[in-house]
Amino acid sequence: MRFDQHTVVLLVRPPDPPELPLDAVDRLQDAHLAHQAGLVEQGAVLAAGPCLGADDERLHGFAVLSVDPEMARELYANDPAVRAGRLVAQVLSWMVPEGNVRFEKVPVPRSMLEAASGD
């Protein structure tokens, strides 16, 4: 059997994230979403989104990438939320039977306002 191998990034809240004012958190989230959208536009990120209802509350987001793990580490080292210490990127490889998972190009939000608009 053949397998497709993807790189997965888990975005995790560290145990001691820096305290920031609410407006700074909002700006940082918008910067994170813009960074993520840029990675989608470049073709590096195939799918990404927040995690809801996880058993581990620290798990914040999940992304599947088309690049190798080392490149994924570099890309997420530049994520504003990672640079600010609000998130940590955990990188791993994920294998699925060949053709089992397909990704479509769809628009992704570049800000919280855009995400909330539902368009």
Torsion on CA atoms 36, 38, 43, 49, rounded to nearest 10: 20
Mean pLDDT over each residue of the chain, to the nearest integer: 95
Which residues have CB under 8 Å from 44's CB, separation 6+?
65, 66, 67, 71, 72, 75
Return the percentage of the chain with pLDDT > 70, whole number: 99
Q: pLDDT, tens digit, for every residue of 72-103? A: 999 999 999 999 999 999 999 999 999 999 99
Domain 3-100, what fold? Alpha-Beta Plaits (3.30.70)
Q: What predicted TM-score, i.e. pTM, was given to this entire model?
A: 0.91
* Cβ 55 vs Cβ 4: under 8 Å: no
